[in-house]
Amino acid sequence: MIQVADRLQDVQEYYFSKKLREIEELNRTGERVINLGIGSPDLPPHPDVVDVLHIESAKPHTHAYQSYKGAPALRQAMADWYASWYRVSLNPDTEILPLIGSKEGITHICMTYLNEGDAALVPDPGYPAYASAVKVSGGKGLPFSLKEENHYFPDLEELTSLVEGNGKVKLLFINYPNMPTGQLPTREMFDNLVKWATANKVLIVHDNPYSFILNDNPMSILESPGAMEVALELNSLSKSHNLAGWRIGMLVGKAERLLEVLRFKSNLDSGMFLPVQLAAAKALSLPASWYEGVNAIYKQRRELAFELLGLLKCQFSQTQAGMFVWAKVPEKYADGFALADEVLLKARVFITPGGIFGDQGKGYVRISLCSPKEVYEQAIKRIEEAGG
């Protein structure tokens, strides 16, 4: 009997993959579960972006293999986007690497830098893909705590203790605006992390896909002094431009680092479909009014999410960014799993338990903002009818 590789022994099926099967089973019986768990943007891209895809796809010469480094037009658009919105100057030829979605970049980076037994610092709570990619690459994930009382910022003393006590730590994963907590970054936090990484010889990996959602001041860690020497940044068009299924991301940073990552990536995949790249370039040129329009819809949905969480007696910050709302569950519940299970059982509404993001998230739940307002109104009605 063929066994799976050892690297998968401690890597479990993604929580949402399992939960969606449960929801599908309930739906088959006619229960009609309202899913407020997964953050898949439901809004369409700008019509001009779709038009470029149509036009370019109809051309006979756009269907060949593409460069592993991405089309020059896309890299230039990414450079212009960073200069306009993040105040960061990047060389489009050497300091930008387009990705087939930024999620793949997480694994690329781990496979590029982690040897068997090397360690990476991963946030708790945090995106589960960080720890999974570290494990699959043969590395050891070391969780560090993001606590509400510390504004969900890394504790530099804790990071130092983890580095001193666990051998060779090579990577530090961070993500601001934070998922799942919605915490916005500050320039001081980024500056302090860059100084810490420089002193401790650790490479920061900043995952930055949420900076345009419910946030008027997009920030990049690369704006901090010295960051190009100790940081890589992942970014994506999935959330900011409603292109999640198109799989368009980027890795930006020092040229030498990108060449190192490309050594792995070029052996794993090929370039993106050219019309997708050209349409993505169009998306990156959209004016501020695009982001304002998208955020007007998310603001409306967030108010309804606040109302829903209020019915459940949860506590939450009203200054969160990103496409989720993070909330602390009432003390009568053992954890977020207990509240989420009760809401699913009584109201047939699915919300995400915070514990799937790490031990520090166990007392919380998360609601996605990726459904029409009518769906939130219906969920509120169900919860009211179920007794709150």
How confident is the model over 47-69, as pLDDT tens digits? 999 999 999 999 999 999 999 99
Residue 164's CB is within 10 A of a number of other CB atoms, namely 10
Contact 357, 127 (CB under 8 A): yes
pLDDT given at position 13: 63
What six digits make up the tokens of 315? 């506590």
Instruction: Residue 50: name the closest of 288, 212, 245 by CA.
Output: 245
Q: Rounded to 5 degrees, what are φ and ψ at 324?
A: -140, 160
**Given this model, what pLDDT does residue 21 score?**
84
Residues in the chain, total: 388
Task: Give residue-wise pLDDT tens across range 331-340.
Answer: 999 999 999 9
User: For residue 360, is pLDDT > 70?
Assistant: yes
Identify the pLDDT of residue 26: 78
Nearest alpha carbon to residue 227 among 263, 253, 250: 253
Residues 270-278, mean pLDDT to the nearest whole number: 95
Where are the chain's structural domains? Answer: 6-44+289-385, 47-284
Three-state SS at 140: strand
Q: CA 33, CA 311: separation in Å to the nearest integer?
A: 18
Residue 9 clears pLDDT 80, i.e. is over it: no
CB-hemisphere CA count at 13 Å for 178?
Answer: 29
Residue linked to tokens 């040897």: 115
284 has pLDDT over 90 = yes
- Quote the CA–CA distance of 128 and 145 in Å, as a whole number: 14
The class level of CATH for 6-44+289-385 reads: alpha beta
- List the one residue out of 143, 80, 139, 84 whose CA is nearest residue 109: 139
Q: How far apart are CA 56 and CA 279, in angstroms?
A: 8
CATH topology of 6-44+289-385 equal to that of 47-284? no
- CA distances to 143, 228, 282 from 115, rounded to whole Å, are 18, 23, 39
Looking at CATH, the fold of the domain delimited by 47-284 is given as Aspartate Aminotransferase; domain 2 (3.40.640)
pTM, two decimals, is 0.95
Number of other residues whose CB lies within 10 A of the CB of residue 351? 27
Q: Do 291 and 84 touch, CB atoms closer than 8 A?
A: no
